[in-house]
A = this chain, B = another copy of it.
């Protein structure tokens, strides 16, 4: 008698993870590199996205999905003024985007014209970390005025990211912020994490980020 063969039990994905996987497969099929940007309220997500759009505008077209808890279009308007297509998702008070909302947003963008999709999540350091949206990479924007202890206080989001941006470096002279203490906390949670200190006000550090991102997008479109 042959031995009984037990099929490998696949991980049963949650509903969100299943739809995130679909988003991912669809974006890959469309040759679109995608980024989920998370941060505290006011860390500079929209400014950072605008710097990215302006920096890449002669090289690729960028679509943006703006997550907001209310029906304000302040951020989406800025993107459209910068000449790129943007869709606003109003979460209706919800504290994060999920893969369902993103699937709805993707379908409103001119996908055949876009090489890069940037998703601006709701300003929140806790909840967005638990919801995969199906993007290629997850980015956290920290900012100097938030303080150097944030990796220690919000470890979950620092653990799950692929790139860390530290924004508002221009404010370093006016704020008690120990870069070593911050970096040490990050390294404990996410060793070797790709890291760009920047200032969206002065533009410092932005070229290094753009160069890294451009390479990623080009490689993904091969």
Contact = CB atoms under 8 A, between A and B. Distances in A.
Contacts of A68: 153
A207 interface: no
Interface string A53-91: 000000000000000111010110000000000000000
B146 A41 contact: yes
* A: interface residue count bin: 35 or more
A71 B202 CA distance: 37
Contacts of A190: none
Given A42-B145, A174-B171, A124 B125 contact: yes
A154 interface: yes
Contact of A42 (B130, B147, B170): B147
29 contacts: A40-B41, A41-B125, A41-B146, A41-B150, A41-B154, A42-B146, A42-B147, A42-B150, A68-B153, A69-B153, A69-B154, A69-B156, A70-B154, A72-B153, A74-B149, A75-B153, A93-B126, A95-B124, A95-B126, A122-B126, A123-B125, A123-B126, A123-B153, A124-B126, A127-B127, A145-B145, A170-B174, A171-B175, A176-B201
A143 interface: yes
Q: How many copies of this chain sit in the oligomeric assembly?
A: 2
A155 B95 CA distance: 13
Q: 8 tightest A-B contacts by CB?
A: A42-B146, A145-B145, A95-B126, A40-B41, A42-B147, A41-B125, A40-B40, A95-B127
Contacts of A24: none
